[in-house]
Each structure stands twice: as structure tokens, then as C-alpha cells.
Structure 1
Amino acid sequence: MVTIEEALNIVQQQEVALQTVHKPLMDAMGYALADEVKAPFDMPAFDNSAMDGYALCGIFQEYNIVGEVAAGDTISIALKAGEAVRIFTGARVPESASAVMMQEKIKVEGNILLLEELPKMGQNIRKKGGELKEGQRVFEAGHVLNPRSMGLLGSLGLEQVLVFAKPTINLITTGNELVQPGQPKSEGQIYESNSFALTGAMRQFGFECQQTKQVADDFEATKRSIGEALQTCDVLLLSGGISVGDYDFVKQALEENGVEELFYKVFQKPGKPLFFGRKASQFMFALPGNPASSLTCFYVYVLPMLQKLSGYSKLGLPSYHFPMKHAYESRFDRPSFLKAGIVDGLVEILDGQGSSMIQSMALGNALAFVEAGGKRTAGDLVECKLIS
């Protein structure tokens, strides 16, 4: 058995072979850049107006209006002192312009422009290269593309980007008691839910499960299903069958398929019977079958591995410290990830902390970490991993 810290270190220190692929920018959301990106030109590429108004040459109270420049116009107007042109947001500012005055602070009488106040030099002009200089680093390798960074790369004229490929993932759920939703169930059976929770969690963080399969608690069927799944994936997740019961065959079936154990069992609650293994460049996680345990182990251990295999520079869920809303005393003999809700900056430990209980996790938005037997009073800070 390993500690939480030891388990995380083992996961995060695995050597991986990253693959790269060119992706259209439109399809690159959630991928990590495989190379740094530098600005191919100054941004803005030319002096442009920050608002609708008039571009002015010199600092005067009165100007002669000599033309108009709209956004996208390529004409070049040379202004003389005391001249002005009507200009619109984003339009190229004449080289001789001293400032742009917003239209709300002017008065026009025929071709004469009258100002309510004197402008300041450079006022309302976005200078060439004011945001980025040609050759300046925009993003480092490992930056995960989000809508904002995609917009920035689009503004730099990039149609495609070189990114790290994401791992292919297969999922096997085990259990004689499991019935698929929509099917009739008998006394003693339950509806299978972990495949929905786990594939949903993958999708939440930008990963897709290419194949899911349900297997009965049978050694040969489990062994065969694992062997077949390993032929088509980089990461294999299994749910259930990893404890020490008479019908828990997953660990043995993994070993029979040549999987090397990297750790088995973590001193934590929930999710003690967690297995992590490797076969060449493939990785396997055997998660507990209890819903809250399975999903907690995904958030804490599987997600960092998926991100590492995708070239992310930062691994795992964001973790912050929040003050407790109420007093809490842990009665567990192991460090625990507790289902919690963060509202108005305060942490509330939710009812229903059993490893089979998923309603509290469904209603919460964080996992609060508490040491074994730990006590917290209202206002004490507690470490929380944000799950939504």
C-alpha cells in the first residue's frame, strides 16, 4: 500500500512518448501546443483607432474635415496640421495623425470640426506592435488551447497548429449485479452507472472514451476482454473487481495480460483498492466499483495521467484553500477526499460520504482533503480540488 503522495508521484513521474499532430485551429480546443508559438508580425499590424471618432493632425480646438477612413480601407491619407478625417473603430490611422477624438466630444458644422476639449498626443490610437512584437513568444509548448488562446492564434493568421495527440481510452466495467439503464432489473441487481460518470468526466476535461464494455465477474471473460481492449488503446480503465473478494478477478487478469503493477492500494478514503499498472507504453487503472470511489480516483489519479500523455504542462485538478463554513471532525482512519460544496467562498462538507453514495458528489463541486481524524472549525482553511 502506498500513500496519496507516493501514488501521485508514481503517476506523474512515468516516462511517456508523446505524439504530435497538425490540427486545424477550429478543431484544436483542449489540445496542448507541441511547440512554442511566436508572433509572425506586429500586433496590431498598423496604428488603428480604438473608437469611432475623428483622427486629428496636431493639437487644436478646430479642424478641417478632409475625408473618411473605415475599418478595412487600404487607402493612405496624408493629413496636414489642422486637418482631420472621420474614422471608425479598427480603421488604419493616418501616419501623421496625433490623436483620435471620440465622436461624443465633438461638434461638426459643415466641414469644420469643433472639439469640446483638447486631445492628448496618442489618445485613442492603438499603436503598431502595442500588444505583440514580431518574433515575440505568444505561447510556450504545453499551453492548452482554450477559446481565448484560439482567438489570439486566429488573429495571428494561424489556420493550423502543431499539438500533442491525445491518448485513446477504453473502459471496462465489471460486475454480475450490473444492468444497463433501460433494461429490466431483478432483485439484487443494480443499474450500471460508472461508465456514464467516467466517460462524462473524460469529456468534461477534453478526452473521449473510444470504447466501453461491460463484463461479468468471470476470470476468463475478464482476461479476454482486457487483452482485446489493450490492442486498441493507450489507456485502459477498469471499474470494479479490483478488491479482494472471491469474484474480484481484475488484478489477476491484468497480470495474465503482462501488465506490470506500479502500485496497488492507496492509503486513502474513498478509493483504497486502486491499481495502477503499465505494459510497454500503455497504462492501466483499475478503479474501485463503488461510484464515489471510482469517480474520486479518476479525478485525483487518472486525469493527471491523461493530461501527461497529452503534453499538458500542468497536471491535475486545480487546488485551492477555502475557509470552512462549519466545524467538521473526520472519523475516518485514513486521509480522505470528502465530497464538498463551495458556495460564496466557503466550504461545506456534504452529507453522504459513503463510497457508494454519488448523490452528494453530484450536488457538490469539490473534493475537500482532510487528514485522518482531522478536525476543522468554522473559518479554518481546507484544501479543495475543484471538480466543476
Structure 2
Amino acid sequence: MAVARVDRVHIKKGFSVDEAVRCLLEHTLPGKVEQVLLQKAAQRVLAEDFYSPFQMPPFRRAAMDGYALHAAFTQTASPGNPIRLIVTGEVQAGAGEIAWHTGSGSRPLINEQLTAVRIFTGAPVPNGFDAVIRQEEIQSPPSLHGQQSDAATWGMSQIQINQPVQLGKNIAEAGEDIAENSLVIKKGTMLGSKEMAILASFGQEHASVVAQPVVAVIPVGDELLLPGQPLQPNRIYDANGFAVEAFLQEQGASVIRSLPIKDDAKVIAMAIKLAAEQADLVITTGGISVGDYDCVAHAADCLGFEPLFTKVMMRPGPHSSAFINQGKLLISLSGNPGACYTGLVLLVKPIVKHGMGLDGSEAEWKQAILMDDVDKPSPYPRYIRAFVWMEQGEWRVRPLPNDKSGNIAAFAGANALAAIPSEGLQAGRQAAFLSLT
């Protein structure tokens, strides 16, 4: 993920969420193109249009297990007037030619219209045969009462057909799926299982993809412990570091997560400097408010980072900030888990998607009926964790209880963020929501 140069204009400190996202997108460019092995390409973004190098299927092939035959010879078939065909050979998937059912292995001297060839799904349909009848639709003929038949002479079996077979039945014609040089997958497509199947079907050993953004995550706070350490008085475990790492991986980024560091400007500056040398984007959590020990902004300034914005008009997380230095972005999020997660969804996700070559600037906000009053006043719009569901053809959204920015219980039941205007919103009104699933 490359970063554009900052335009040295007056930096507005208080941005709306939309303004903050636009600002970040202006300073973020899609990553470079790289070739990766196909088995490493899943969940990566295709960097260039993929055109079919040959037609698909590449040859006429059977779509069912059954018998290849001549459709015209079956048009008079009925239960009262069945057609009997001699099975002269078989063709398996991957076979180059018919395996004849003769002792010599050569083609029997029988009128071809009176013959059928046992064939299996995916096998090439032999020249001259123009339909395939499913094996479930044929019958073994009754005894011929001692009469000597061509089939018996050659030591071959017969099948009985009681209905006409349509020309081309159960045959996939060459090129009927995809013509040669057709646009099959567009640039900017995330390669999922369907796209991987297409690339593999065309024998692609490698794929051209956008390089994954490398994001460094730095949790900040004297109070932070690593999971696994004994819980100490007045200390908490680092939840944000793991949450941010998992969130970024869900978006397709490559993540470098550091151990929690202390609220010390020199230590923070050293960690940011090291992270910026390894990553396209650096994210800190904690230490960005206005307290005496909130040192991230000072550390960034000491390193020469210029502020893009130092306040976003949203609750939680109004002190979310962004800085830039020598083409590297630094985004600083709140240390409160709810505020940190809100910043990830609203600010970080769009630029990570953009850096991967996806259009991530437009959040997919939808409207739902608000089920409970949200009347707590706020100087800024609030983005609260909520549960949304469909009922009687309409979306409904219910704010989760006790959704304070430092609380974590609401994470378990939340599947959406609901946007509430600063003046609040009454139950029954329409509220915008953003799905988290």
C-alpha cells in the first residue's frame, strides 16, 4: 500500500467521519502488483483483468455417465418399438481414444449407427456420435431366443432404448461455457473459491495480485499485560492489540503486532520509527487523548510526522488522529475497546480496502427502524454497537445495553454499528446502520 504525498495546506483539526475518510484515501494509493503461486492467491485482489487463454470446455465432452450414440437412429424408439444398440467400446475421462470391446482391440466392422459407446462424465465424445443417453435411461434387452446377433459374434453387450434421444443431449460442446480470449474475471476482484476454480481450470500456476498492505500495530499503555501473564492489581490485559490484528487480517492485510509499550514518548517514538520502517501503515491504540500520560502525538511530532487531523467528530473515539511522514501513515486510535473498534470500522477499513485495490471508500449504510430511544445528548454523532435483524420485510435495530466505550460485553451481541445524531433519536424513527458481519 503506497501513500501519496501530503498537500501542505492548512490542517483542519476537527473532521467529520466522511472528511476523515476522504483525507486518508487521498493519501493512500493501491499497492504494487506481484505474482504469487495460485495456492497463495485466495483472498487476494486480482491486479489485472483475466482473459481466457483457450475455450472452455476445450473439447466436446460427456456431461453424464451413459452411452454415446447417434441421435437420428433413435427417433423411432418407443416402449413398443425399442431400439437395440451394440456397445462397441468405452471412453473414460482423460482418455485419448475409444477402448474397443474386441479381442484384437480394433474397431469392429459393424454399421456405426447400430452402435453405442460406454462413456463417462468428462470424457471426450468420439467423432460421429452426437448425443449421450444417461445410463439410468437404458435397459438390457431381453433374450434373443437363440438367435445369433452381431453383438454375440463380437462378444459385446447390447443396450435397449425405449425413447428418442435429442441431438446434442448431455454433451457439453467445446467453447459453450467460455470462448477463447473472453474477459472472465475483472481487475479488482477478491479471489474467492469461485475465482480460484476458474483460474485453476485454465491452468494458471500464478496470479497477478495487489500486494497486501503491511500494517504495524502498537498497543500503548502502562496498564497493559499480555494474555498468559498473571493478572496484577490495577492492570488489564491487552485486548486492542489482538482485536486490531484480527480485524486487519479479516480485511486481507498482513499484520505486525508489537508487544504493549509504556506511556513514554521516547519509547513510543522508537516503536513507531521501527514500525514505519517495516510497514505501509502504523496503527497505535491508546495514549492519544488529552491526559498527562497520553504521549503518542508528541512522539509522532518528534519523529517529524505532520498531522492530517487530530479530532474526528464522532463518539466514541473523538481523539482519533492521523499523521504522515515521508510517505508513511500513522493512525492513532483510542485505547478504549469500543472506541478503538469504531475507529477500525469507520476509518481504517476503507483505506486498507483501498490499499488492496478495492473500492472501500463507500460504507454500505442501510436504514432500519430504531427499537429503543437513544436520547443521551452528545456533541457529536454517536456510533453505537447494536443488533440488527429483518422482520416483516424491514430492518430493525436495537442498541445494546451498557455500550460504554470502555466496555467489552457489547462485542458479543453486536452485529452492527448504529449511527445516532448528536441530538438523539426516538424509537420508531429510521436509523442508519453498518453491518459488522
Q: TM-score, normalised by structure 1?
A: 0.91
**Corresponding position of 2:10:** none
Name the CA shift for 1:336/1:124 in 2 (closer, same or farther; >3 Å).
farther
2:70 to 57, 70, 83: 57
Can you list the C-alpha shifts for 1:11-67, whole angstroms capped at 9, x where unaligned?
Answer: 223342632221000011222122211111101111212211122212412233222
**Corresponding position of 1:32:** 45
* Paired AA for residue 283 in structure 1: L
Is 1:90 the counterpart of 2:116? The answer is no
**Corresponding position of 1:326:** 371
**Corresponding position of 1:199:** 245
* Paired AA for residue 369 in structure 1: A
Can you list the C-alpha shifts for 1:297-343, whole angstroms capped at 9, x where unaligned?
Answer: 1122112222222222x316973536447344353423232212344
Aligned equivalents of 2:363 and 2:54: distance in 1?
A: 34
> Match of 1:375, SS?
coil
Is 1:19 the counterpart of 2:41? The answer is no
Name the CA shift for 1:24/1:265 in 2 (closer, same or farther; >3 Å).
same
**Corresponding position of 1:361:** 411
Aligned equivalents of 1:371 and 1:89: distance in 2?
A: 60
**Corresponding position of 2:7:** none
* Paired AA for residue 105 in structure 1: E
**Corresponding position of 1:276:** 322
Unaligned runs of 5+ in 1: none
Trace 1:131-142 onto structure 2 (pairs within 5 A).
131-142=177-188
Give the alignment's Cα RMSD to 1 decimal.
2.5
Contact 1:58 1:81 in 2 (8 A): no
Aligned equivalents of 1:308 and 1:273: distance in 2?
A: 23
Aligned equivalents of 1:303 and 1:180: distance in 2?
A: 25
Is 1:151 the counterpart of 2:151? The answer is no
Name the CA shift for 1:294/1:93 in 2 (closer, same or farther; >3 Å).
same
**Corresponding position of 2:174:** 128
Aligned equivalents of 2:377 and 2:409: distance in 1?
A: 20
Contact 1:31 1:164 in 2 (8 A): yes
Contact 1:321 1:381 in 2 (8 A): no
* Paired AA for residue 350 in structure 1: L
Residue 294 (structure 1) shift: 0.7
Per chain length, whose mean CA-contact separation is higher, i.e. which structure has more relative contact order (CA < 8 Å, sep 6+)? 2
* Paired AA for residue 372 in structure 1: S
Name the CA shift for 1:127/1:383 in 2 (closer, same or farther; >3 Å).
farther
Name the CA shift for 1:5/1:98 in 2 (closer, same or farther; >3 Å).
same
Unaligned runs of 5+ in 2: 1-13, 78-82, 100-106, 142-155
Is 1:162 the counterpart of 2:212? The answer is no
* Paired AA for residue 274 in structure 2: E
Q: TM-score, normalised by structure 2?
A: 0.81
Residue 241 (structure 1) shift: 0.7
**Corresponding position of 2:93:** 71
Name the CA shift for 1:275/1:285 in 2 (closer, same or farther; >3 Å).
same
Trace 1:96-111 onto structure 2 (pairs within 5 A).
96-109=128-141, 111=157
Contact 2:322 2:329 in 1 (8 A): yes
Aligned equivalents of 1:342 and 1:317: distance in 2?
A: 20
Can you list the C-alpha shifts for 1:54-104, whole angstroms capped at 9, x where unaligned?
Answer: 222124122332221111111169994353221111111224333222222
* Paired AA for residue 340 in structure 2: S
Residue 119 (structure 1) shift: 2.4
Aligned equivalents of 1:55 and 1:364: distance in 2?
A: 57
Name the CA shift for 1:337/1:325 in 2 (closer, same or farther; >3 Å).
closer
Aligned equivalents of 2:178 and 2:237: distance in 1?
A: 55
**Corresponding position of 2:289:** 243
Residue 248 (structure 1) shift: 0.9
Name the CA shift for 1:84/1:31 in 2 (closer, same or farther; >3 Å).
same
**Identity between Structure 1 and Structure 2 (%):** 29
